[in-house]
Structure 1
Amino acid sequence: MTDTPRDKTQPPPADVDADFDADPARRIRSVIGAFLYVAFADTAFDHTEEARLLAGLMGKKPFSTFDSGLLEAEYNTLVGALRSDFTAAAALILEDIQRARHDPHHAEEIVRAARAAIVADARLEAQEEAALERLCVALGREAGSI
């Protein structure tokens, strides 16, 4: 499924949260959330993996385009939430991702972030594959398109 850019001179579709577009923290949260959701999906997110993931994040798109202080704050908040209650945190992440799907550029940032988690992990476990499928649904894409 190919998304077409939304004409921002027209009112947003009913499923679009107008405040979402105006809040850079929510944009960062949806992108870093996609990354962490996939990274945590296999329940084996340890300090070694975290260090490797962080090293790979900061200089690469989409992460290099974000304010580093805001990125770090959102990262730490989401890591804490995922460690505390993965199911609840995952639901909030997927909700933010669903709100972002109307913007093709933002959706592509989310896809790149999810792929970065798989590359950094160096393997694709069944749980991570399931997480990718849920991301596809949230983005309104065909299964397996990430």
Structure 2
Amino acid sequence: MNTYLKPKDQTARLSGAVVGAYLLVAFSDGDFTKSEEVRLRLGQFDSTNLPGLRRDVFEAIYPDALTMFRQDYDKAAEYTLSMLAGFAGEGLVRRAVAEAVRAAVMADQQIKPQESLAINRIEEALGAPAGQI
């Protein structure tokens, strides 16, 4: 079963939203670099950094999310944005997603125009003001 497409509980939904947001930005330029993968895999998103996120849930979701983004970025992006819209107005999720987005941008040490567009789409999905994430 695809754990990214069918999260089993709120923790899995939150983790999926964070992982999806990271991958949405990281893949937006068409190149998911080794530094982007390493930054994500090194534990950027565990409960010590963001309440509600757990390493075991991340490990279950990440492979499915990564496969989905590699196979069809547009479909994965739409799914992720839909998932994020379900969290609109929730401060914890906005904070977690903002951390994920920052990590994705920092992984390759620059923000490209495609990444800016992806961030704008994430802000819109979460109902966040432009420039907040």
Q: TM-score range by the shorter chain?
A: 0.7 to 0.9
**What RMSD in Å do the two structures reach over aligned CA positions?**
2.0
Contact 2:18 2:96 in 1 (8 A): yes
Kindly provide the amino acid, as one letter, of the partner of residue 91 in structure 1. Answer: E
Other-structure match for 1:115: 102
Distance 1:31 1:128, change over 3 A: same
TM-score by length of 1: 0.76
Tell me if the contact between 2:89 and 2:127 (Cα under 8 Å) persists in the aligned partners: no
Match of 1:61 in 2: 49
Name the stretch that deviates more: 36-45 or 66-75: 66-75
Kindly indicate whether residue 64 of structure 2 is the aligned counterpart of residue 77 of structure 1.
yes
In structure 2, distance between residues paired with 1:24 and 1:56: 16
Using a 3 Å threshold, how does the CA distance of structure 1 residues 141 and 87 change in structure 2: closer, same or farther?
Answer: same
What residue ranges of structure 1 are gaps of 5+ in the alignment? 1-19
Question: Kindly, what percent of the aligned residue pairs are identical?
Answer: 32
Q: Give 1:54 deviation, angstroms.
A: 2.1
CA contact (8 A) 2:68 2:76 kept: yes
Report runs of 4+ in structure 1 exceeding 4 Å deviation: none
| Distance (Å, rounded) in 1 between the aligned partners of 2:99 and 2:33 | 22
Bigger radius of gyration = 1
Count of matched residue pairs: 125
Contact between 1:56 and 1:120, CA under 8 Å: does it hold in 2? no
| Structure 2 gaps, min length 5 | 1-6
- TM-score, L = length of structure 2: 0.83
The secondary structure found in structure 2 opposite 1:28 is helix
Asked if 1 retains the 8 angstrom alpha-carbon contact of 2:29 and 2:112, the reply is yes
| TM-superposition CA deviations, 1:92-120 (whole Å, max 9, x none) | 10011110123211221111111111112
- Partners of 2:53 and 2:119 lie apart in 1 by 23
Q: Distance in 2 between matches of 1:34 and 1:106?
A: 11
